[in-house]
Homo-oligomer: A and B are copies of this chain.
């Protein structure tokens, strides 16, 4: 049971975590904190949090669980603001999509690594953002990856794991580096490709007309291009190295497809498409 949960950034992820834990009855009080009073008031009015404050120090007072659910670029600032004010028994975790950068931000913000810090990332979300999009079952049967550090207190790790399990998630652990490579491939790269495609088409002439003939496949393919631009800018900057690595491989593969089309090489195209369909059908049934 969490006595007091403090969430920095009550948007889709932070708000859904609060709703899930309250639905599970495993959290006595949820306090929201961010820089926007209107967002916090909306979260309170929607019944997502019990109360809010704009003061980070006030927010973490008495909290035994602190969740950083702000954009990656805002992590360090929050840590600086609460430095020296966490309760001794507080567990601290985050929901950032790139872990190495958050670990660095937390270390810099606190001036040292808090022993209660457990880096985390729920592999869940929709293309929507903001607290009005939050819902209590967002994490049901979704994976949450925790990337504990050498310094991480095992009690804190257990409490953060339990929190996510109570929210309905399946928790796994891996290293920070491995997380960042896997997510670059399965999440960050697809978002960039979708943003890039829609932008490419939008900048062609007759753009309204082009989108009129977009069918279901295009809608599915580009749904993630409706995601929050600020969040994704931050992800690109935070996971630069791993993203550039998979992007380079992808561009090589795209070059291979392009050359096969140029050469009218149907056999190579068929081989690529069959291999892709086989993998997609096997792993995403």
Contact = CB atoms under 8 A, between A and B. Distances in A.
Interface of A is mostly: helix
Nearest to A121: B213
Interface string A257-280: 110111010100110111111111
A201 B204 CA distance: 29
A198 B250 contact: no
A243 interface: yes
Contact of A221 (B194, B211, B266): B194
A54 interface: no
Interface string A236-247: 110010011011
Interface residues of A, number: 91
Contact of A244 (B190, B224, B243, B262): B262
Contact of A223 (B192, B217, B257): B217
Nearest to A123: B215
Interface in A201-225: 201-204, 207-225
A127 interface: yes
A46 interface: no
B279 A198 contact: yes
A237 B211 contact: no
A71 to B, nearest CB: 11
Contact of A279 (B187, B201, B244, B278): B201
Interface of A: 123-127, 142-143, 145, 182-183, 185-187, 189-204, 207-230, 232-234, 236-237, 240, 243-244, 246-251, 253-255, 257-258, 260-262, 264, 266, 269-270, 272-281, 283-284
Given A125-B216, A186-B210, A220-B223, 18 more contacts: A124-B215, A127-B217, A145-B213, A186-B211, A195-B272, A198-B276, A198-B280, A202-B275, A214-B284, A221-B221, A222-B284, A225-B276, A226-B277, A229-B270, A237-B261, A243-B261, A251-B254, A251-B258
